[in-house]
């Protein structure tokens, strides 16, 4: 809360000042009722003292006639100003709240973009999306509510001062009674934070179920999971209804119990005012009016605090996410050395473990130069894709060094280093846009001719006539309108369009038939650009002409050589090759 209040302090102070001025004018307006009632009862209140005397002297000082008409016009003017200021206060509060929401969303998004990818894997895109959309929204509501409470408190303060000026003893009785009744009501109700936490949990679950069922729409049907998802969704919706109704029911109970308690207190004061004090009708009337205005203020504060308590879990979650992200070292940051071109890449005794602690790479060494192709082969789970993650600085090695032309890649400017890499991942992601937009993601300034050339090499042109709008065809979310092999070819085309030095192919053609695969590789070999190529393939026939083949088993390089050398040495490679022949 402290941090939220610190956001844009000057705007916050502005809201408080405006609220204070509005509250003051409310007090003045209420106070003006006193001379208005007095003047209707006696013709010469000019010798009055106390609050009434204050008004009389003020009017004398500015030479305004102290008549009923002038008093009523003054009351109208004061009230106009008071509500105008309230409007400005509400406006400023909205600016503050919505800007705070923007700030949280910006910080969260930027931290996610520049933070480590494994945080996204760990928390899940569904929960992060929920934080980004819903929780930041509620968090902004907290800021607005906090300043709203400040305004109400100030207004309540003015009523109290006015009531104290008129009757200190009755005011003390009123304050004690209102406080006791408020605390009693709060004590009876369950804490809002617990219910709010349940609401936040259910929101997470709703996001998870809806995202999984939409993104996995095909698998959900093919694996007959529809009933399972429908049940999960219905159950989550039930929990959503129960927790939300509970929160709102408690709010309604709080409001009505408070109002009831306040009515009783005010009735008691009316009785006490008439029976036990000698206040004039005008003073007692204005006093009761002030208390009457004060009791909904107490109500409102109570209600707002309860709502605030219920929304706090959302802000806490967003804060937790931001803190966790700040605590993580992002391997992508750091390094500022410039790099324009790369001739050679070396892996030197590189070891790496994910958070689970198990060693995935163990002293892996290999090198590749421009004009060469090296292949990484080995059983599933051996660590081949992890090598690519390290190369792209999505992860950083725990030990050993990866160097580009002798410089550790961690010392390089990460943007420039990634400019030198053209990676076709095992499971490439296509963006929701046209074919042209997808091919040019790594080189936005590429000419149409360059896009077409990359598509020719990657054999995208083979299925281009089938696309309704050619290069302008919308590919849908994650290229849903393409086959697996077509998606792979788009991913290869976009890698080739980059002006890179190191080409990384991670199972890049696994879904292509042999003919097209062959044509793609021939096309790449005939390109003018001389790549240092790192190729990963399960189908060994696609890498048998590599300059060097490294066999990776359980995270270690167990053998290295050309296809013929490895066959002759009769090791793991020869075994794998035999099973595929």
Ligand X SMILES: Nc1ncnc2c1ncn2[C@@H]1O[C@H](COP(=O)(O)OP(=O)(O)OP(=O)(O)O)[C@@H](O)[C@H]1O
Contacts with ligand X by CB under 6 A lie at: 118, 121, 354, 356, 360, 380-386, 426
What is the CA angle 573-575-578, rounded to 5?
110
Cα 472 from Cα 480, distance rounded (Å): 16
Exposed, middle or buried: residue 474 (CB in 10 Å: 0-12, 13-18, 19+)?
A: middle
Tokens encoding 12: 């916050």
Rounded least distance, CB 361 to ligand X, Å: 8
Q: Which residues, at least 6 apart from 471, have a Cβ–Cβ distance to it below 8 Å?
A: 434, 435, 436, 439, 448, 451, 452, 455, 464
3-state secondary structure at position 555: coil
For ligand X, which is the closer residue by CB, 335 or 383?
383
Rounded least distance, CB 123 to ligand X, Å: 13
For ligand X, which is the closer residue by CB, 462 or 517?
517
Rounded least distance, CB 539 to ligand X, Å: 12
Rounded least distance, CB 127 to ligand X, Å: 17
Cα 211 from Cα 275, distance rounded (Å): 67
Asked if 546 contacts 374 with a C-beta cutoff of 8 angstroms, the reply is: yes
Rounded least distance, CB 404 to ligand X, Å: 21
Could you give the C-alpha distances from 481 to 56, 430, 515, in angstroms and in order? 82, 11, 23
For ligand X, which is the closer residue by CB, 137 or 353?
353
For ligand X, which is the closer residue by CB, 103 or 118?
118
Q: Which residues, at least 6 apart from 82, have a Cβ–Cβ distance to it below 8 Å?
A: 22, 25, 26, 29
Quick one: which of 319, 393, 409 has its CA closest to 139? 319
For ligand X, which is the closer residue by CB, 104 or 536?
536
For ligand X, which is the closer residue by CB, 208 or 386?
386
For ligand X, which is the closer residue by CB, 44 or 356?
356
Rounded least distance, CB 364 to ligand X, Å: 11
Cα 507 from Cα 245, distance rounded (Å): 51
For ligand X, which is the closer residue by CB, 171 or 386?
386
Cα 191 from Cα 177, distance rounded (Å): 22
Rounded least distance, CB 387 to ligand X, Å: 7
Rounded least distance, CB 384 to ligand X, Å: 4
Tokens encoding 362: 């163990």
């Amino acid at each position: 809360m402290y941090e939220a209040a610190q956001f844009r302090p000057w705007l916050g102070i502005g809201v408080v000042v405006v609220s204070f001025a509005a509250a003051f004018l409310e007090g003045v307006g209420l106070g003006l009722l006193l001379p208005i009632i007095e003047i209707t009862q006696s013709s010469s209140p000019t010798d009055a003292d106390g609050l009434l005397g204050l008004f009389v002297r003020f009017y004398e000082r500015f030479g305004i006639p102290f008549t009923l008409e002038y008093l009523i016009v003054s009351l109208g003017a004061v009230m106009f100003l008071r509500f105008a200021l309230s409007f400005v206060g509400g406006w400023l509060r909205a600016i503050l709240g919505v800007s705070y929401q923007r700030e949280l969303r910006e910080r969260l998004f930027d931290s996610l973009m520049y933070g480590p990818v494994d945080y996204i894997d760990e928390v899940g895109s569904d929960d992060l999306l929920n934080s980004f959309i819903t929780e930041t929204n509620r968090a902004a509501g907290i800021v607005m509510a906090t300043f709203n409470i400040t305004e109400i408190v100030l207004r309540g303060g003015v009523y109290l001062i006015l009531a104290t000026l008129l009757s200190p003893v009755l005011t003390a009785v009123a304050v004690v009674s209102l406080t006791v009744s408020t605390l009693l009501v709060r004590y009876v109700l369950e804490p809002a934070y617990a219910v709010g936490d349940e609401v936040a949990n259910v929101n997470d679950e709703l996001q998870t179920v809806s995202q999984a069922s939409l993104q996995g729409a095909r698998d959900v049907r093919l694996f007959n999971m529809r009933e399972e998802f429908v049940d999960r969704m219905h159950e989550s919706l039930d929990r959503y209804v129960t927790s939300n109704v509970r929160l709102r029911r408690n709010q309604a109970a709080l409001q009505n119990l408070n109002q009831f308690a306040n009515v009783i207190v005010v009735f008691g004061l009316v009785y006490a005012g008439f029976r036990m004090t000698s206040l004039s009708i005008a003073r007692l009337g204005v006093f009761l009016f002030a208390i009457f205005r004060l009791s909904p203020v107490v109500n409102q504060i109570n209600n707002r605090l309860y709502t605030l308590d219920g929304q706090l879990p959302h802000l806490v979650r967003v804060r937790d996410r931001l803190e966790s992200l700040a605590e993580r070292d992002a391997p992508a940051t750091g390094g500022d050395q410039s790099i324009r071109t790369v001739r050679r890449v070396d892996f030197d005794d590189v070891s790496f473990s994910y958070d689970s602690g198990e060693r995935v790479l163990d002293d892996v060494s290999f090198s590749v130069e421009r004009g060469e192709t090296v292949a990484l082969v080995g059983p599933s789970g051996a660590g081949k894709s992890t090598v690519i993650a390290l190369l792209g600085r999505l992860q950083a090695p725990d030990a050993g060094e990866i160097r580009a032309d002798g410089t550790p890649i961690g010392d390089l400017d990460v943007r420039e280093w990634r400019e030198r890499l053209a990676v076709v991942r095992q499971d490439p992601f296509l963006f929701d846009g046209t074919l042209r937009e997808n091919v040019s993601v790594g080189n936005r300034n590429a000419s149409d001719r360059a896009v077409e050339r990359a598509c020719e090499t990657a054999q995208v042109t083979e299925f281009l006539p089938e696309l309704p709008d050619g290069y302008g065809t919308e590919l849908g979310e994650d290229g849903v309108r393409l086959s697996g092999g077509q998606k792979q070819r788009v991913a290869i085309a976009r890698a080739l369009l980059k002006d890179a030095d190191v080409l990384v192919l991670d199972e890049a053609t696994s879904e292509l038939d042999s003919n097209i695969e062959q044509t793609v590789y021939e096309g790449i070999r005939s390109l003018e650009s001389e790549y240092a190529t790192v190729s990963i393939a399960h189908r060994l026939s696609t890498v048998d002409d590599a300059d060097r083949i490294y066999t990776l088993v359980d995270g270690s390089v167990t053998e290295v050589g050309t296809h013929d050398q490895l066959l002759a040495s009769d090791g793991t490679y020869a075994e794998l090759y035999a099973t595929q022949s």
